[in-house]
């Protein structure tokens, strides 16, 4: 994708739709989480990276309070809303993301004008790559500039979280927005979800002769689902029984004692979070000292923990991970919230074709829907394109 060309094209599409040129074009990427799953709402550590797949929005201010929204995806038609009376129950489909961001800015006392907005995204939907946050982060970047609100990246992260939690109704943390807003080319974003501090960690797989494969299982997941909420509830229960503010405050050395205090299921949920936090720290250290080729074992251990202790994997994800490993990947894990979505496989360039073919064959043999397999590289965070 060459942004200059697609930016011009998007502006032309905007003109065709709305009869005028946009005031600007903004983009924000999806993300892949390298490691650190479900640790975000436990005030722990995550290590996502922004990917080279993005949502772009062309936006034009218009008089009055109407918002007109259009997406190039599918045949969804024009949606009109009113900034003066945003109603989360009335917001439908993808429009709840831009409308949620407008609502969230209003909650901060920011006046949002009437708008025309055209969305174009190549982040796959519902694959665990956060296509929804890509939209929200593109929109908030646009509105931050348009309204002159001057929000910092940290404030934009919290504002998009509020949009997701209180308007869209998805109880998500801050990882996805942080990666999308604060990512950097060639780096992973080491985020401490307690204080929102970020450290950019060099992660250039290609320099180590590796590629990062994403295997989208096409099994749909939904954060609004009971599985996500029940994992959160288990973590809250665990923290309460162990007498800590959040599971972030429990270390690997505390696990033995914790096992005597918690019921069996809650203990395994807690053990996943505690060991996963530790794996994130180890990954950051290994990337710094030895580079991407050293982290395969941590990716594998993360997957096993999610499969066995947190129980958020599924047969398709397990097959993607096992087949990748058996065919040359140096480490693989499911990524994202779980119950479907995508797996990642860190793979030597020389084994890429073998892994792709083997995973496709294994899925066909098992009678699963054909997966979508593609590579991602760590890319820049949200920005204005035009």
Burial-class residue 237 by CB neighbours within 10 Å (0-12, 13-18, 19+): middle
What single string gives the DSSP state of each residue in 257-281?
HHHHHS-HHHHHHHHHHHHHHHHHH
Q: Which residue of the chain is nearest ligand ADP when measured via CB? A: 94
Q: Judged by CB, which is closer to Mg ion: 130, or 347?
A: 130
**Is 278 a residue of the active site?**
no
- Cα distances from 289 to residues 72, 204, 275, 286, 299, in angstroms, run 44, 13, 21, 5, 17
- Cβ 93 to ligand ADP, closest distance in Å? 5
Instruction: Please say whether the beta carbons of 280 and 35 come within 8 A.
Output: yes
Q: Which of 7, 27, 121, 277 binds ligand ADP (CB under 6 A)?
A: 121
Radius of gyration of the chain (CA): 21
Part in contact with ligand ADP (CB under 6 A); list of ranges 129-137, 185-193, 272-280, 374-382: 129-137
Instruction: Please say whether the beta carbons of 296 and 56 come within 8 A.
Output: no
Q: How far is CA 121 from the centre of its chain?
A: 14
Part in contact with ligand ADP (CB under 6 A); list of ranges 81-89, 128-136, 294-302, 325-333: 128-136
Q: Judged by CB, which is closer to ligand ADP: 46, or 246?
A: 46
86 binds, among Mg ion, ligand ADP, none (CB under 5 to 8 A by kind): none
- Cβ 93 to Mg ion, closest distance in Å? 13
Give the footprint of ligand ADP on residues 79-98 (CB under 6 A): 93-94
Burial-class residue 211 by CB neighbours within 10 Å (0-12, 13-18, 19+): buried
- Cβ 3 to ligand ADP, closest distance in Å? 17
**In a 3-state reduction of DSSP, which class is residue 47?**
strand
- Cβ 111 to ligand ADP, closest distance in Å? 26
Closest CA to 98 of 84, 88, 108: 88
Part in contact with ligand ADP (CB under 6 A); list of ranges 126-134, 235-243, 276-284, 319-327: 126-134
Marked catalytic residue, from 120, 176, 216, 300: 176
Write the DSSP symbol of residue 381.
-
160 lies in the binding site for ligand ADP (CB under 6 A):
no
Q: Which of 126, 169, 186, 227 binds ligand ADP (CB under 6 A)?
A: 126
Q: Which of 79, 132, 277, 347 binds ligand ADP (CB under 6 A)?
A: 132
Sequence-distant (6+) residues with CB within 8 A of 295 are 34, 35, 283, 286, 287, 331, 346
x/- letters, 289..328, toward ligand ADP (CB under 6 A): ----------------------------------------
Sequence-distant (6+) residues with CB within 8 A of 172 are 41, 161, 164, 165, 223
48 binds, among ligand ADP, Mg ion, none (CB under 5 to 8 A by kind): none
- Cβ 131 to ligand ADP, closest distance in Å? 3
71 lies in the binding site for ligand ADP (CB under 6 A):
yes
104 binds, among Mg ion, ligand ADP, none (CB under 5 to 8 A by kind): none
Q: How far is CA 41 from the centre of its chain?
A: 14
Residues that bind ligand ADP (CB under 6 A): 71, 73, 93-94, 119, 121, 125-132, 135, 223
Active centre residues (catalytic): 176
């Amino acid at each position: 994708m060459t942004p200059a060309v697609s930016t011009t094209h998007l502006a032309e599409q905007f003109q065709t739709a709305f009869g005028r040129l946009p005031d600007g074009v903004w983009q924000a990427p999806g993300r892949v989480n390298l490691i650190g799953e479900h640790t975000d709402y436990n005030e722990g550590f995550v290590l996502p990276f922004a990917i080279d797949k993005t949502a772009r929005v062309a936006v034009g201010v218009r008089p009055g309070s109407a918002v007109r929204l259009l997406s190039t995806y599918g045949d969804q038609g024009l949606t009109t809303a009113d900034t003066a009376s945003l109603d989360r129950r009335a917001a439908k489909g993808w429009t709840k993301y831009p409308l949620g961001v407008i609502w969230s800015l209003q909650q901060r006392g920011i006046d949002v004008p009437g708008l025309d907005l055209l969305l174009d995204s190549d982040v796959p939907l519902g694959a665990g790559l956060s296509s929804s946050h890509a939209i929200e982060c593109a929109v908030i970047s646009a509105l931050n500039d348009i309204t002159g609100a001057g929000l910092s990246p940290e404030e934009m992260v919290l504002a998009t979280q509020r949009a997701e939690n209180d308007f869209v109704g998805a109880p998500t943390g801050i990882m996805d927005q942080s990666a999308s807003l604060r990512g950097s080319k060639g780096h992973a974003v080491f985020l401490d979800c307690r204080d929102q501090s970020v450290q950019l960690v060099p992660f250039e797989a290609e320099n180590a002769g590796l590629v990062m494969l994403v295997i989208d299982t096409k099994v749909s997941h939904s954060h609004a689902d009971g599985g996500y909420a029940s994992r959160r509830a288990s973590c809250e229960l665990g923290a309460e029984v162990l007498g800590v503010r959040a599971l972030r405050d429990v270390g690997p050395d505390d696990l033995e004692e914790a096992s005597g205090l918690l019921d069996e299921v809650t203990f395994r949920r807690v053990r996943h979070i505690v060991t996963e936090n530790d794996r994130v720290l180890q990954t950051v250290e290994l990337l710094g000292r030895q580079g991407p080729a050293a982290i395969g074992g941590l990716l594998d251990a993360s997957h096993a923990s999610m499969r066995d202790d947190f129980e958020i994997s599924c047969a398709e994800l397990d097959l993607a991970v096992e087949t990748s490993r058996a065919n040359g990947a140096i480490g693989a894990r499911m990524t994202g919230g779980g119950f479907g979505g995508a797996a990642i496989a860190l793979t030597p360039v020389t084994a890429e074709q073998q892994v792709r073919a083997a995973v496709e064959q294994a899925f066909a043999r098992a009678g699963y829907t054909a997966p979508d397999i593609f590579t991602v590289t760590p890319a820049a965070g949200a920005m204005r394109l035009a």
